[in-house]
């Protein structure tokens, strides 16, 4: 299933500028993800960000190439791309996860303990075009593996009902703890 996929991790910082790294390459990929392919990154990020906003009924996109390079953050966007069925040198972006770290305060289920977590991994945005094909699970699992952090140890920024269902189905996260800062964590977080 994943033999025609590549996952590219993209981030930006002041010292290095734009940086990308291929973190997964399927067995059937005959061409390389090169500088020509990189020229599509901004278009892919903007387009998928807009589609994500529309799917979440947001007034504007929360993920864009401009935000990635302009904001002072350490966000990383993992983009899943596949080869075009007719031309294996043509790439089509099919989804992304935006990962960041934040210093956040979280309360337990009873709202009795408030604790600060520094550099907490956060899923800030997530979108896959063709759902129910395993691509979302594959992408999220790859992100979790790359940062050596299980699903229960992430904070999720304003997850949709569909995202909560996805997390329950694939990772057994069924008891969300909504927070005052609009993030959702799960009981296993503490």
Q: Could you report the per-residue pLDDT of 139-149, keeping only the tens digit for each? A: 999 999 999 99
Backbone angle region of 158, left / alpha / beta, with phi > 0 → left and psi within -120 to 50 → alpha: left
Q: Is the pLDDT of residue 17 over 80?
A: no
Between 119 and 14, the more confident residue is 119
Q: Is the pLDDT of residue 170 over 80?
A: yes
- Write down the pTM of the prediction: 0.89
Q: Is the pLDDT of residue 83 over 80?
A: no
User: CB burial class (10 A; 0-12, 13-18, 19+) of residue 31?
Assistant: middle
Between 103 and 109, the more confident residue is 103
| CATH of region 2-189 | 3.40.630.30
Q: Where are the domains of the chain?
A: 2-189
Q: What is the pLDDT of residues 19-64, one digit of tens each?
A: 888 888 887 666 666 666 777 888 999 999 999 999 898 899 999 8
């Amino acid at each position: 299933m994943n033999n025609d996929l590549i996952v590219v991790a993209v981030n930006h910082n002041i010292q290095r500028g734009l940086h990308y790294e291929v973190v997964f390459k399927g067995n059937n990929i005959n061409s390389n993800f090169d500088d020509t392919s990189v020229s599509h990154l901004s278009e892919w990020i903007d387009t998928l960000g807009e589609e994500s906003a529309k799917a979440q009924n947001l007034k504007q996109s929360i993920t864009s190439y401009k935000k990635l390079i302009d904001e002072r953050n350490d966000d990383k966007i993992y983009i899943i791309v596949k080869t075009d069925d007719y031309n294996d040198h043509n790439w089509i972006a099919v989804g992304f996860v935006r990962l960041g770290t934040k210093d956040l305060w979280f309360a337990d289920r009873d709202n009795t303990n408030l604790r600060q977590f520094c550099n907490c991994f956060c899923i800030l945005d997530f979108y896959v075009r063709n759902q129910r094909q395993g691509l979302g699970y594959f992408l999220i699992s790859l992100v979790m593996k790359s940062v050596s952090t299980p699903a229960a140890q992430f904070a999720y920024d304003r997850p949709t009902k569909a995202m909560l269902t996805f997390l329950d189905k694939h990772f057994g996260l069924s008891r969300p703890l909504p927070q005052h800062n609009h993030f959702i964590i799960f009981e296993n977080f503490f």
